[in-house]
Structure 1
Amino acid sequence: MTPLIIDGAAVSTVDAAGTEHAFGHVVVEHGRITAVGPGQAPRPAGPHTWVDGSGCLVTPGLVNTHHHLYQSATRGYAPDAGLFPWLTELYPVWRGLDEEITHAAACAGLARLALTGCTTAADHHYVFPRAGGDPFAAVVGAGRRIGLRLHAVRGSMDRGAAQGGLPPDDLVEGTEEALTATEKAIGDHHDPAAEAMTRVAVGPCSPFSVSAELLRGAAELARHKGVRLHTHLAETADEEAHCLATYGRTPVEHAERLGWLGPDVWLAHTVHLSAAAVKALADSGTGSAHCPTSNGRLGVGVPPVRALLDAGVPVGLGVDGAASNESGSLVEELREALTQARQRGGPGALTTREALWLGTMGGARCLGREGELGSLEPGKLADLAVWRLDGLDHAGIEDPVTALVLGPRPVVRLLLVGGKTVVDDGALRTASVGDLARDLRAAARRLKEA
């Protein structure tokens, strides 16, 4: 690759010092950032690509720490339901999932993420109908097609209705079956390299759909294979009541008992946390994927983000499944996180810079990639977003970070993943948006008819 120079832009590096340049540059070469600084970049003598960044803000690419991409094919269901009734309505629909539908949904969901500034996405896939083929491989293939970094979480459920769980019995796996399939997914798809485009994590779904045996076995498998762990935890008051009635422990106490706290774990939602639970996450280095829009859509509550940050817990942002966040946009989660935190804790509960940190470096920490992603620093992977802020939508907002976080969703002028262009001037360059929309409509129609 020839050097690529983004010049004359505002730059928010999100490094440890919070370095920003009102008029600066970023230089990319061979898939990595080679220079970041104020003023114009020196022009190399040889061939290079020059990008006029005037009127733009450059940030690290956003990192999505929790998603269910297959749900892009089931948007709009149960719009007024809480989590358990919502799941009860959707599980029968998800019986019709197969790898073709999953691939179409995942491609559309990843395209939406790219168009809203995301360069890395963690997808938690836990629904495996018996006649559905290999939907996990379909998600991995979607990541390659759209060109985003993918942390593919091989989920599982082994507690159906007959065992007191929420999902139908025909949507769960046997405990050993799930562990064997998860180990195979790691062998087939996980890349441990620093510049990896695909990594695999281990992710039994939740305490109300997974046995203690599967949770314990999954933790042992992940650590044996050297991969990360992810699950839903402490999302609703109903979940806490279930764990207390079934195990005599809160969700966090249950997770800790089964080996599910540690620096290799990040948990989705963590809404209902006591002070002791916050301390347990902090002491163990466990991360939290905060999903503000989905939490609001399902009415599950607002997590103690300020307390988590103050305790040193790695906190990132997640879109969550498109069936509980129909927008599917990651940049909008910056504002949602800020407003919800302030509704809970007042105007000082979260700043605009902290909101951007959650969507970048906080997410990188959750995924164990803070040495590679999450900030604009020489040597890091060239995953970055260039946001256009020079139009009517942002006119008069002098501070570019405030414009990004609190203003309307800006056009992505340029999105690079490893230095490769994924979005250019607001248009996806790796796939036809028209084709993706057509395939998603067909997939959603097939599920509805089934």
Structure 2
Amino acid sequence: MELVTSASSGRLLIEGCAIATVDGVGREHERGHILVEDGRIAAVGAGSADRIDDGAPVRRVDGTGCLATPGLVNTHHHLYQWVTRGLAQQADLFGWLTELYPMWARIREEDVSAAVGAGLGWLALSGCTTTTDHHYVFPAAAGDLFAAEVAEAGRVGLRFHPVRGSMDLGASAGGLPPDDLVEDTDAALAATADAIDRFSDPSPGAMVRVAVGPCSPFSASERLMREAAALARDRGVRLHTHLAETVDEEDYCRATHGCTPAEYAERLGWLGPDVWLAHGVHLDAEAIKRIAETGTGLAHCPSSNARLGAGLAPVRDLLDAGVPVGLGVDGAASQEAGQLVAELRQALLVARLRGGPTALTAREALALATRGGARCLGREDELGAIEVGKLADIALWRIDGLGHADIADPVAALVFGAPAPVELLLVGGRPVVERGRLATVDERDLLVRARRAADRLRI
């Protein structure tokens, strides 16, 4: 493949590749083309693109041996955790958090910058074009952590939906986090409003949109949850939090609030079409019904749930009920692989462990990571499918190598097979990955900075 160095303002033609559009009817082309103009998809179809022979300049990309899909959308992450990976290896969620909180209390702006840069670079290399990041750790005098991660997203070139998280319920007030790692409630709300004002862009094609996200029922007070939701709705941004991840959380909510986590969320105004929740492992039939009826989305994090032994999320039941479901890598300290493409296979396998071999198909797994994720983030009109007029966020996967070439179905090759190399990754028509290498930042620099931060935090 010829290297592509054009900016989003030019024209680019990918041709000769298989295409899974993941549009509303699941159109696929065994050998087709995609034309990109001014950062959006101008044409997609079978065969060659005759319409562009008008003399205007266009860069051509030979997609032979590749599969084109929409860029993957990561709906849940904690990027700062990249520099605290590999710890608390046999712990459940509460034990894992308890072991890592003291390290996170020492995190500083330069550490967050290094962690976010490395995590985003790795996400890009796994086909991700849009990612969230739920950052809820803000130690005193740590620097401008939220600004640091927004800046790194701009350097790497991914579309970014950072969530300004918060915790105000320390151990002395009945929460799980230590008191020195939580914020004052008013200060957290003010900082959240400031993050929206400084960084969130509501315009079409936006690269950064901020969401609001008190961390969890066991680390955020009722007041913080209620007032954060009111703030988000006043500013017209989305809401995100952890919910129903573990049995311990369910026990905590029943003992503290007299109800399940889902009932607690609804009581606080945390169900609705502007909300997406992380995990949802322990949801009964009534909770699934209410989540579906309210249009609430859910970020499914199969590898992290498995790593912490949290359980098997009821994804088939959620989909059948009409819940928007996306995929999440989750924090790098509870999912050290950090590859979004690998979550397609993991989601399929986990669903089948719970519901048998028909519980999730390869194409449904791909839809979770694309169209489903776009729905969770409220951007299904722009992202998640290869359709004319949508943003040119496209992943081109090489599937003609030893690990995939004998799987005749290209979508099955991507989902059932090993993580496929990314031949080309476009975000708004701009190349972020080319031939399996980052095109926007120096990978060696990402590695050195992340290693330095990890070494400092482990001292």
Q: Same fold (TM over 0.5)?
A: yes
- Classify the secondary structure of the residue corresponding to 2:163: strand
Q: How does 1:68-107 map to 2 (within 5 A)?
A: 68-107=78-117
Q: In structure 2, which of residues 432, 441, 447 is the aligned counterpart of residue 422 of structure 1?
A: 432
Render the CA deviation track for 1:336-356: whole Å, top value 9, x for unaligned. 000000000001100000000
- Classify the secondary structure of the residue corresponding to 1:198: coil
Structure 2 unaligned blocks of 5 or more: 1-8
Q: In structure 1, which of residues 305, 317, 321 is the aligned counterpart of residue 315 of structure 2?
A: 305
CA distance in 2, matches of 1:294, 1:160: 24
Q: How does 1:157-176 map to 2 (within 5 A)?
A: 157-176=167-186
Q: Paired residue for 1:244?
A: 254
Q: In structure 1, which of residues 373, 377, 380 is the aligned counterpart of residue 383 of structure 2?
A: 373
Render the CA deviation track for 1:284-342: whole Å, top value 9, x for unaligned. 00000000000000000011000000000000000000000101100000000000000
Q: In structure 2, which of residues 45, 49, 60 is the aligned counterpart of residue 41 of structure 1?
A: 49
Q: Paired residue for 1:194?
A: 204
Moved more, 370-379 or 128-137: 128-137
Q: Paired residue for 1:128?
A: 138
1:6 counterpart = 2:14: yes
CA distance in 2, matches of 1:370, 1:275: 27
How many residues are paired up? 449
Q: TM-score of the superposition, structure 2-length normalised?
A: 0.97
Render the CA deviation track for 1:172-191: whole Å, top value 9, x for unaligned. 01111111110011001100
Q: Paired residue for 2:359?
A: 349
CA distance in 1, matches of 2:149, 2:301: 21
Measured after TM superposition, the shift of residue 46 of structure 1 is 1.7
CA distance in 1, matches of 2:182, 2:314: 32
- Classify the secondary structure of the residue corresponding to 2:175: coil
Structure 1 unaligned blocks of 5 or more: none
Render the CA deviation track for 1:348-403: whole Å, top value 9, x for unaligned. 10000000000000000000000000000000000000000111111210000000
Write the letter of the residue equivalent to 1:58.
A
Q: Paired residue for 2:126?
A: 116
CA distance in 2, matches of 1:395, 1:416: 24
CA distance in 2, matches of 1:193, 1:96: 36
Measured after TM superposition, the shift of residue 2 of structure 1 is 2.7
Q: Paired residue for 1:318?
A: 328
Q: In structure 2, which of residues 149, 160, 172 is the aligned counterpart of residue 139 of structure 1?
A: 149
CA distance in 2, matches of 1:219, 1:189: 18
CA distance in 2, matches of 1:381, 1:103: 27
Measured after TM superposition, the shift of residue 131 of structure 1 is 1.8
- Classify the secondary structure of the residue corresponding to 1:255: helix
CA distance in 2, matches of 1:448, 1:164: 28
Q: In structure 2, which of residues 368, 372, 377 is the aligned counterpart of residue 362 of structure 1?
A: 372
1:205 counterpart = 2:205: no
Runs of 4+ in 1 over 3 A off after TM superposition: none
- Classify the secondary structure of the residue corresponding to 2:403: helix
Q: Paired residue for 1:31?
A: 39
Q: In structure 2, which of residues 17, 24, 30 is the aligned counterpart of residue 16 of structure 1?
A: 24
CA distance in 2, matches of 1:188, 1:248: 38
Measured after TM superposition, the shift of residue 85 of structure 1 is 0.4
CA distance in 1, matches of 2:30, 2:405: 16
CA distance in 2, matches of 1:85, 1:131: 27
- Classify the secondary structure of the residue corresponding to 1:33: strand
Write the letter of the residue equivalent to 1:174.
D
Measured after TM superposition, the shift of residue 410 of structure 1 is 1.1
CA distance in 1, matches of 2:106, 2:221: 24
1:282 counterpart = 2:292: yes
Write the letter of the residue equivalent to 1:85.
G
CA distance in 2, matches of 1:175, 1:391: 53
Write the letter of the residue equivalent to 2:365.
A
The sequence identity of aligned pairs, in percent, is: 65
Q: TM-score of the superposition, structure 1-length normalised?
A: 0.99
- Classify the secondary structure of the residue corresponding to 1:54: coil
CA distance in 1, matches of 2:425, 2:291: 33
Write the letter of the residue equivalent to 1:26.
I
Q: Paired residue for 1:441?
A: 451
CA distance in 2, matches of 1:319, 1:193: 27
CA distance in 2, matches of 1:274, 1:353: 26
Render the CA deviation track for 1:115-171: whole Å, top value 9, x for unaligned. 000000000000000020111111111110100000010000000011011111011
Q: Paired residue for 2:230?
A: 220
CA distance in 2, matches of 1:361, 1:372: 10
Write the letter of the residue equivalent to 1:19.
R
Measured after TM superposition, the shift of residue 441 of structure 1 is 0.2
Write the letter of the residue equivalent to 1:203.
G
CA distance in 1, matches of 2:96, 2:435: 37
- Classify the secondary structure of the residue corresponding to 2:424: strand
CA distance in 2, matches of 1:389, 1:102: 34
- Classify the secondary structure of the residue corresponding to 1:393: coil
- Classify the secondary structure of the residue corresponding to 2:367: helix
Write the letter of the residue equivalent to 1:445.
D
CA distance in 2, matches of 1:83, 1:61: 30
CA distance in 2, matches of 1:364, 1:228: 13
